[in-house]
Amino acid sequence: MVIIMEKDASEQQVEHIIERLDEQGFSIHRSTGVDHTLLGVIGDTSRLDIRDMKIMPGVADAYRISAPYKLVSREFNHADTIIKIKDVEIGGNEIVVMAGPCSVESREQTMIIAGHVAKAGAKILRGGAFKPRSSPYSFQGMGEAGLKILREAADKYNMLVITEVMDRDQLDLICEYTDILQVGARNMQNFTLLRNLGKVNKPVFLKRGISATIQEWLMSAEYIVSGGNRNVMMCERGIRTFETYTRNTFDISAIPVIKKLSHLPVLGDPSHATGIRDKVIPMARAAVAAGTDGIMVEVHHDPDHALSDGAQSLYPEQFDQLMDQIRIIAKAIGRKIAERTDS
């Protein structure tokens, strides 16, 4: 951190700041310029609140030089983190596809969709059993019955399961059935949940909060990793902006930004990002071109009757089309996507 003193700051004010920081175990590098005195604060400044520095008498401004997150940063770990779950690797050369319904609605529905997306090359079956709905009157998910269906469908088609955990009380139960724990956008800053996920022996899929900055999102990942769970993947799922045409605004630039700042895998969710079926394929293509390690897509065989997010769910044939197209893009950038299993 660098503290810039005001032009007319007194020696007493400079000394006072140095003493305060010294008490807290920091060493200070002082340099006196023509107009301003600069104080370089050396040590772990992530625990300092920059506002406390800015309001000290005689201070003109203060800046952080290093990011407040550590373990998730590229500086800490230069090599990409590759998360290996059974025979699937996330964060390696292969771009992994997660697909399935928004919610598990019935055994039949989940089986039909799982069978289709597995054939098309999806390796991970998504589906919500506990749903974070904006309205308390909307369908809230099937709970444990839904988890059982997901597991059965995934096992049948040799897939992994990803499903959302909304509360720490659900963790033990969900861990019995799932391979990956999804933290939804609305829970990205549920710090109690994040701390508990740090103690769990399953990878975590951390969706970006609806209005979260990239730094806040990385700090949430830091909660999980600092708790002891290094297997965290980041998912850009659209953020809230002034635009109302789409459900959210897909921040595609977050993909290369996270890649640069962090060693964690980063994935894109074009379904929640746009909320409109015919916008999902173009945005999935863009995410792959931008360097994503995977995509999560909602698919439904009868979206008109879906209990949640029907409008953004692809028809199975559209999902096949998407897979064909992103395979070509992946190849063009030196990566690959699993082939169809029935061809």
Does the footprint of ligand PEP cover residue 185 (CB under 6 A)?
Answer: yes
Among 90, 95, 102, 281, binds Mn ion (CB under 5 A): 102
- Amino acid identity of residue 127, one-letter, is G
Residue 309 interacts with Mn ion (CB under 5 A)?
A: yes
- Closest distance of CB 318 from ligand PEP, Å: 18
CA quadruple 252, 258, 261, 265: dihedral positive or negative? Answer: negative
* Residue 263 found at the interface with ligand PEP (CB under 6 A): no
Rounded CA gap, 81 and 63, in Å? Answer: 30
Q: Judged by CB under 5 A, which stretch of 69-77, 139-147, 184-192, 303-311 contacts Mn ion?
A: 303-311
Q: Alpha-carbon distance 323 to 159, whole Å? A: 16
List of E strands, the chain:
2-5, 27-32, 37-42, 59-63, 83-85, 88-90, 96-100, 124-126, 160-164, 180-183, 204-207, 232-236, 266-268, 294-298
Count of alpha carbons within 13 angstroms of residue 337, beta-carbon side: 33
**Which residue number places its CB atom closest to Mn ion?**
102
**Torsion-angle region of 275 (φ positive above 0: left; ψ -120 to 50: alpha; else: beta):** left
For ligand PEP, the closer of residues 31 and 138 by Cβ is 138
Q: What is the total count of residues that contact Mn ion (CB under 5 A)?
A: 2
Told to check if 132 binds ligand PEP by CB under 6 A, we report yes
Number of Cβ within a 10 Å radius of residue 89:
16
* Residue nearest ligand PEP (C-beta atom): 184
Q: How many residues bind ligand PEP (CB under 6 A)?
A: 9
Binding of ligand PEP at residue 143 (CB under 6 A)?
A: no
| Residue 132 near which of ligand PEP, Mn ion, none (CB within 5-8 Å, type-dependent) | ligand PEP
Residues at the contact surface with ligand PEP, assessed by CB under 6 A: 102, 128, 132, 184-186, 207, 237, 272
